[in-house]
Amino acid sequence: MLPPLDESSAPHQPWGLFRDWYEAARPLHPPEPDAMALATVGADGRPSARIVLLKQFDDEGLVFHTHYDSRKGEDLGHHPVAALLFYWPAQLRQVRIEGSVSRLESEASDAYFKTRPRDSQIGAWASPQSRPLQGREELDGRLDRYSARFAGQTIPRPPHWGGYRLLPLRFEFWQARPNRLHDRLLYQRRADQSWSLERLAP
C-alpha cells in the first residue's frame, strides 16, 4: 500500500500530481500502460465507454486519437464533454478526469499521424470504425484496396481521423487505504482557472 494522500501537502493544482502518478504507474502496467477508459454521451443521452490510449498531456489537456466518424466521434459531436478513467491496480490507484473535448488542431493530428506505422496509417483509411461489416473479408478487401491506392506513396491523414483534447474541469485522485477508508482528493477548476481542492468521503 502506498503512502496516504494528504490534502495539506498536496499541490495546489492537479497536473503535477497526475504526472507523478502516471509516471509511477507506467512501468508497473504493461502491456498498455497508457490505456484509459473514455466515456461519452450519445445524442439520446445514453452513456458509453471504451478504452483509448493517452498519447500526450500537458496543462492544455489530455490527447487521444481516433476516428471522427466513430460512435465516440458522433457522441462528441452532439455532446463535447467526456470522462476519462485510469485504474492502476498494481498501486491500487484510480484517477477520474472530466471535462470538455475539442478536436486537436489539424497540424497536430497530421504530425502524430506521420509517426504511426504504415500499416496503422492504412488501417485508419480502411476501417470505417464503428460501422457494421458484412464480414472480415470486407475489411481485408478494403485494406487491399487502400494498400494498392497508396503503394509507394506517403500516406496522408484521412480527414475522418485525428486527435481530441480533453480539457479537465475535475480531477479526482483515489488511493486505497486500509479498511476501505480510502483517500479521495477532488480538484475542480474555477472560472479564474485556479483549482479548488477538497477531500471526499470514500
The binder of ligand FMN chosen from 14, 68, 70, 163 (CB under 6 A): 70
- To ligand FMN, the closest distance from the beta carbon of 38 in angstroms equals 8
How far does Cα 153 stand from its chain's mean position? 30
C-alpha cell recorded at residue 110: 497530421
Binding to ligand FMN by residue 127, rule CB under 6 A?
no
C-beta of 56 vs 91, nearer to ligand FMN: 56
- To ligand FMN, the closest distance from the beta carbon of 52 in angstroms equals 4
- Cα angle value 72/80/127 (rounded, 5°): 25
C-beta of 70 vs 175, nearer to ligand FMN: 70
> Which of the stretches 4-12, 43-51, 142-150, 185-193 binds ligand FMN when contact is defined by CB under 6 A?
43-51
Integer CA distances (angstroms), 105 to 102, 112, 155, 162, 165, in order:
9, 11, 19, 9, 9
C-beta of 64 vs 125, nearer to ligand FMN: 64
- 72-91: which residues touch ligand FMN (CB under 6 A)? 72
Binding to ligand FMN by residue 56, rule CB under 6 A?
no
Catalytic residue flag (residue 50): no
Write down the catalytic residue from 180, 189, 190, 199.
180
> Which of the stretches 5-13, 46-54, 92-100, 102-110 binds ligand FMN when contact is defined by CB under 6 A?
46-54
Contact 112, 65 (CB under 8 A): yes
C-beta of 48 vs 196, nearer to ligand FMN: 48
| β-bridge pairing 183-189 and 161-175 | antiparallel
The catalytic site residues sit at: 180
**Which residues form the interface with ligand FMN (CB under 6 A)?**
32, 35, 48, 50-53, 64-67, 70-72, 129-130
